[in-house]
Structures are given as C-alpha cells and as structure tokens.
Amino acid sequence: MNLTIKPTGSLGGTVEAPPSKSYTHRAIIVSSLADGTSIIKNPLLSADTLASIDACRMLGADIDVNDVLTVRGISGKLKAPRRIIDVQNSGTSIRIMTAIVSLCDDRVELTGDESIQKRPMKPLLDALEELGVKTTSRNGNPPVSVHGPMNGGKCSISGDVSSQFISGLLIACPLASKDIEIEIIGELKSRPYVELTLDTLKDFNVEIRHENFRRFYLKGNQRYKARTYRVEGDYSSASFILCAAALTDSAVTIKNLSINSKQGDMKIIKILRDMGAKIEMGSDQMSIQGNGNLSGIDIDLSQTPDLLPIVSVIGALAKDKTIISGVEHARYKECDRIHAMTTQLRKMNAVIKERRDGMEIEGVERLKGARVHGWHDHRVVMALAVAGLRADGNVSVDTAESVPVSFPTFVEVMKKLGAEISIS
C-alpha cells in the first residue's frame, strides 16, 4: 500500500492521541498472568497489541476484545501451547513472551515475520540459559525455542541492545519458584521503557527492588493481582502530530496526553521547544502553535530511540545543523532506522551524513516530492509522510500497510487536521 501526501501549508484542530502501545502490551500480558479478571480501558488495538493478545490466549488467558478488554488471567499457571507462537511483526511480543514461556516445563517455540527473524535475541537467550532454561535459535535470531522451567539464581544481560529483554525478565521472574537477581552490563539504553514496565508491575501488585537500574532483585512466587486499568495516551504516536504542526503554520491541540507520564518519548516536547516551537501543556492535553521556523540543535536519543525517524525529519527542515547521537540501537528495530531515514530523506534532497550512532543534518527550507521506501516500518512511513507536508510536490511512501502496527488512525487524524493525505 502507498501513502500519498500533498504539500500542506497549515494544520488546525483538536484530536486525541491514540492509547499507548507500550502500556497496552504490558497490561495485556500482565493481566493474562494475574489472579482474577482485569478490565483494560482505552487499549490500543493495533497489529502489535493483537499479537500479544493472541500469544496470551495460547497460554490459556481468556480475553474478550471490545471497547475495553476483559482479561481472565491464568493465575501464573502456564501451560505450553501446542502450536508455535507467531508474533507477526511485534518485537515487544516476541521478547517479552520468550521470557514468560520459559516458565513452562516444556518446549515452546516462537517466531514472527521476515523482519522479526532479523531481530537479535541472543542477550535474552543467554540470560535465560543462566537461569537454567534450555534455548535454541537461528544464530541468535528467531525462530527461537525455550524449555524451562526457569530456576532461581543470578543472570546478567547487556543493557545496550534492547530494553525489551529486561522488561521480559522483569515480568517473568516474579513468577519463578525462587528468587532471581539480574545484573545489567554496560549502559542501559531506553531506560524509560524499563521504568514503564516497573510502573505496570506495581499496578498489578508485584514489587521489584533495584540498585539504580544496575541490579534488580526479584522475589519468586509472587502473584499478579487483577484490576481495572486505564491505558494513557501515547507520546510516541503524538510526536508525529506535534512535529507536523511545528513544521507548518498551525494551531493544534492533542488530548489524552498525561503531563505526569513516565513515557520517555515525552522528550519530544523538550526537543521541539529547544528548536523554537511554542507548546502549552495542561493536565491531559497540549497545544502547539507552529510556524515552520525551527532551529537545529544537538539531540541525544539514547533513551528514546523511537523518536529517531520523526526527529530526523524536523532536523532536515530546521535552520542550520542538527546532530542526532546515542542511538545506534535504532539500527535493530523493524529496520535499520538510521540508514532508512538517511537514504529516503536524501531522495527528497535532505542533506544528511549517516553516523554510527545517529546523523548530522544540514537543514533546508523545503524538501522535494519523491517516491520513497517505508522499509515496512510504521515509524519510518509516518515520519516520511510528515516530511511530505514541506515538500515541493507530492510524496508517495510505500509499505504503508505497516502503519496500523502502532497508529491505526494516523491517516484519519492527519486528514482531520487538514492534511491532504490518502492511502491506496
């Protein structure tokens, strides 16, 4: 599918941010493991979160999908599914579920689509091996199989590849029969996602002690307790709306965004303000006055790698130089996002130098219309669509079928704000 965007001078109106994908994943998985019935309000129903629902059903959870999710948990009593767990394109699902199914006293296999089969899993598999789990993989990538049960003891895991490995362990280990200690080796990248996991676990009655996110101490034989849970709005998705408004002559309000959120991608507000955008925040919404006049800055995205695609776009259209650094781990997402954004924005006449851990960008006044490749990556597709608002001529982005992974209503929201955008 192709997304076609015509140049748009201004946007305006009020829209709602979609629910958080990260919180929805965690709420689905933890409530599936819990004692009793949970109600999850305002869930994001996207391709990724539906993959987590399917995986949890295979473990025995009973989940009704409507405007709210009704989840009847398995009380921590996992049974190995008879079929292979296929997470489709969801990296979060395969990494968290790999840790969870290692609690089973049987072999469980997990796989996904072509993109997932390129995603590294070895750090997690090595940590599980230290805890007594037998694992196999294809050179450290999916398909993977694990054969538990997980024992107590100690394990170590690298912190600079994916926080999803650590989140998976933090969710699974409290259900083990013995206590477990996890040591983080090297720098913990994407730490806000680990904080988000701990926040969810606390909401479902599990406590984890840690030493400054370097060492985690998990008591075994804990139980998740069912509850009613509301998913907050997603700053990762809202970043595309905010940046679209900042690049144009716009007045946009976004509702369903908590000012007290623990989401790391809330950093987009500081980035845009530092570049010159005017943003006002309320308790559950924010308004941005855009005029297209942004100035380049130095930006460390080590803790917020999902912002890379859209931040590279605003850097490409800002005055002077923008340097993005600290985000080498963005190369191991749905695609190599540093390379993907560099090559596609160059097709639109952006001036970008690719670095090992980011980019150097010399801003231009306008980009040019072009046909660009979305790399089957929802964030790359949406970022290139936003770039098309400030192009001379139409921009066509392929692989737009990936957008529902995180923001199913992206096209409708952009149309409501006045963008000339269509999908075919």
CA distances 223 to 29, 31, 52, 369, Å, are 13, 11, 20, 55
Residues 8 and 36 in one domain: no
The 10 Å Cβ neighbour count of residue 227 is: 17
Query: How many CA atoms lie within 13 Å of 300's alpha carbon, on the beta-carbon side?
Result: 5
Residues 145 and 182 in one domain: yes
Residue 153: give the domain boundaries. Answer: 21-230
Residue 251 is predicted with a pLDDT of: 97
For residues 303, 256, 406, 337, the Cα torsion angle rounded to the nearest 10 degrees is: -30
Residues 250 and 191 in one domain: no
Residue 132 is predicted with a pLDDT of: 97
Could you say which of 48, 265, 306, 377 is catalytic?
306
Our count of domains for the chain comes to 2
Residues 25 and 12 in one domain: no
Residues 282 and 389 in one domain: yes
Task: State the residue for tokens 């770039």.
Answer: 387
Report residues of the chain scoring pLDDT below 50.
none
Of 207, 230, 253, the last residue of a domain is: 230
CA 362, CA 317: separation in Å to the nearest integer? 8
- For 11-47, the pLDDT digits (tens) are 999 999 999 999 999 999 999 999 999 999 999 999 9
Residue 283 is predicted with a pLDDT of: 87
CATH number, domain of 85, equals: 3.65.10.10
Q: What is the DSSP string of 130-198?
A: HTT-EEEEETTEEEEEEE-PPPSEEEEEESSS-HHHHHHHHHHGGGSSS-EEEEEES--TTHHHHHHHH
Residues 107 and 246 in one domain: no
Residues 368 and 419 in one domain: yes
Of 203, 230, 257, the last residue of a domain is: 230
306 in active site: yes
Residues 154 and 275 in one domain: no
CA 164, CA 306: separation in Å to the nearest integer? 13
Instruction: Tell me the pairing of strands 351-355 and 358-362.
Output: antiparallel
